[in-house]
Structure 1
Amino acid sequence: MIEAMSQVTVLAVGGTGESHPDDHRRHVSGLLSEVTGALDERFASRWVGYPASYGPVAAGGLSYRQSTEVGVERLIDAIEDAPGPVMLIGYSQGCTVIREVLGQIATGALRADNVSAVGLVSDPEQPAGAVPGCSGRGVAGVGAPIPDSVPVQWIAHPDDMICNASEDSYVRDIADLTRSMSFRTLRTWLAHTWVLLRHNSFQNAGKTRVSPRQWRTDLRRLRTAVNEVLGYLPPRLAWRGVRVVNARGGRHIAYASEPLDASGLTGCQVLAQWLQVRATFDAPLRVAA
């Protein structure tokens, strides 16, 4: 029997600020459009809209946690609507959405046999050692489990703190405190913050003590945190007419514009190549003609 390649649906979930609560577009937008734009005719790409908010930082005002929950629901609907094999790609907060869906697959709460590959650009829950050159891990801590049946490709820059924060980074404490931040649901945020403080369940809880030796360590941690934040901020900063060049900046948004490694390819191009290789050689993507 002759085999033919079934068209692969690529579902793209963008980062904070790249979507909004009433986003019903189907064409891929934002940074991930540089991935889908490099794919060949075997792929059909679709955007998965969701709030993509981080409290007051983006439109909608939902907390990061609430925004992610909505994204999970919409991504599951999109997976179920896809006519054939599916690949998932995410950027930043979109990676968290995908990781939650993968966690449901891994635990058996969700049946999604058509998901064949996943690409994650700047995953806030990136595991340690997932990317050569990244000595840290995602700033949001350990994410949901990943099913063994689904191959995952992480795309990360060593100076991007979102996916490669140092193990004892102060930025982790900020991430813990702001995950439920929302002025629309202020009482919920305060309640979660109180539980976090009362149980001292910060990622860095075991790395912080009151002692002179700890103070010396904290000076090093503070310098590291400053460098990590500078890497996240834009390359050029302006405030009240004063303009400053931030040579370290822009690492979190450079995946579509700057070479990621010695190959000269951007992170988005590297991911597009990987998806095409998976589509070529993975047997589950072939269907009987």
Structure 2
Amino acid sequence: MTSFPTGRGPVTVLAVGGTGESFPGDRRTEVTGMLAGVTRALDDRFTARWVPYPASYGPTPRPDGECYLTSVSRGVTALSRAIAQTLADDPHATVMLIGYSQGAVVIRRLLAHPSSGHLLPSIAAVGFVADPHQPPGAVDGCEGWGVAGPGPALPGDIPAFWIGAADDMICNASPDSLLRDVADLSGVFSAGHVRLWLTDAYGRVRSARLQNAPRTAITPAQWRRDVGRVARAAREVRGYLPSSVQWRRWRVRNSLGGRHVSYDVEPYRRAPLTDPDTTGCEALAHWLQLQATLGESGRRTAA
């Protein structure tokens, strides 16, 4: 049976946003971006706090942004400090973590880091929205890994819940998606360190440290398969792009778009939800509230 922290009073939810939702020097404490759709739906047992970090992916969204791996590393440090500060304010505090996209990777890396062991007993639950490392079957209709493939293993005694969409390639890319190669090869890319990126990319290709390495060969049969892979990659990119793209005076509608940003604005039709208008973010809020209720029940039983 899962054990819950024995804290009393409000549950502190620490929210780690996705790429572009935070920035260097961000001093905000109020949750913003996608995860605000989660924290708005929580009841008064919860307090929520934003975890600032660079949230960059090389030149996205800022031309001088740090590479993805550095951004994630800084996010882990920021989240660790936020948990430590929460526990310093209340040694018996109960903490829950929620992350969106790159923020989900930050949480996963923190939970797997050897230096975080002393923090784990205070963490009651973790929730992921559009996790790039989402495991197969974590969400109905999502049969493959997220675009970044398997990530560090999560602690088995901390309840985890995923929100994802089958047509959001960030959390459900096709098994041999060309975008997996992009994810594998772009982790250290930044405008200021192109040579480092080229060296890293060459090393990964040479040593076959790519998700698609077993599926890649220089043969006519491979070339024929690649025609279909390009078509699937184009569809996956369309799903990631906005539903409407503006370029100068022209606006192009993308009927497949907006999947990665749909979780707080569209109904999330995932059983066993009873309200057909519930969004993905609201579904995660409901699950967090259930975990808090289970924790309260456990504490009453122990008393």
Please give the TM-score of this superposition, normalised by the length of structure 2. Answer: 0.89
Which is further off, 250-259 or 219-228? 219-228
Aligned residues: 285
Q: Distance in 1 between matches of 2:25 and 2:80?
A: 17
State whether residues 116 and 285 of structure 1, in contact with CA within 8 Å, keep that contact through their aligned partners in structure 2.
no
Match of 2:202 in 1: 194
Q: How does 1:83-162 map to 2 (within 5 A)?
A: 83=90, 84-104=93-113, 110-112=117-119, 113-162=121-170
Displacement, 1:4?
A: 8.9
Q: How does 1:245-264 map to 2 (within 5 A)?
A: 245-261=253-269, 263-264=276-277
Q: Does 1:206 align with 2:209?
A: no
Displacement, 1:109?
A: 5.1
Displacement, 1:285?
A: 7.5
Q: Distance in 2 between matches of 1:102 and 1:110?
A: 8
Q: Look up the equivalent residue of 2:75 and give its one-letter code.
A: G
Q: Deviations over 1:162-182 (max 9, x none)?
A: 000011000001111111111
Structure 1's unaligned 5+ residue stretches are none
Q: Distance in 1 between matches of 2:52 and 2:124?
A: 21
Q: How does 1:153-172 map to 2 (within 5 A)?
A: 153-172=161-180
State the secondary structure of the residue aligned to 1:57.
coil
Match of 1:70 in 2: 74
Displacement, 1:221?
A: 1.2
Q: Deviations over 1:99-131 (max 9, x none)?
A: 101112xx5753211011000000011111211
Which is further off, 252-261 or 218-227? 218-227
State whether residues 208 and 214 of structure 1, in contact with CA within 8 Å, keep that contact through their aligned partners in structure 2.
yes
State the secondary structure of the residue aligned to 1:256.
coil
State whether residues 279 and 285 of structure 1, in contact with CA within 8 Å, keep that contact through their aligned partners in structure 2.
no
Structure 1's consecutive aligned runs of 4 or more residues displaced over 3 angstroms after TM superposition are 283-289
Q: Deviations over 1:134-165 (max 9, x none)?
A: 12221011111100111100000000000000
State the secondary structure of the residue aligned to 1:255.
coil
State whether residues 6 and 286 of structure 1, in contact with CA within 8 Å, keep that contact through their aligned partners in structure 2.
no
State the secondary structure of the residue aligned to 1:132.
coil
Match of 2:273 in 1: none
| Percent of paired sites with the same residue | 49
- Per the alignment, do residues 130 and 214 of structure 1 end up closer, same or farther by CA in structure 2, a change over 3 Å counting? same
Residue in structure 1 matching 2:251, options 210, 234, 243: 243
Match of 1:224 in 2: 232
Q: Distance in 2 between matches of 1:90 and 1:36?
A: 12
Structure 2's unaligned 5+ residue stretches are 1-5, 271-275
Displacement, 1:196?
A: 1.1
* RMSD after superposition: 2.0
Q: Look up the equivalent residue of 1:201 and give its one-letter code.
A: R
Q: Look up the equivalent residue of 1:68 and give its one-letter code.
A: V
Q: Distance in 1 between matches of 2:174 and 2:115?
A: 32
Q: Distance in 1 between matches of 2:42 and 2:181?
A: 38
Q: Look up the equivalent residue of 1:255 and give its one-letter code.
A: Y
Which is further off, 248-257 or 186-195? 186-195
Match of 2:3 in 1: none
Match of 2:83 in 1: 79
Please give the TM-score of this superposition, normalised by the length of structure 1. Answer: 0.93
Q: Distance in 2 between matches of 1:239 and 1:282?
A: 51
Displacement, 1:283?
A: 5.2
- Per the alignment, do residues 280 and 5 of structure 1 end up closer, same or farther by CA in structure 2, a change over 3 Å counting? farther
Residue in structure 2 matching 1:272, options 285, 289, 292: 285
Q: Distance in 2 between matches of 1:134 and 1:37?
A: 27
- Per the alignment, do residues 19 and 43 of structure 1 end up closer, same or farther by CA in structure 2, a change over 3 Å counting? same
Displacement, 1:232?
A: 0.2
Q: Distance in 2 between matches of 1:178 and 1:244?
A: 28
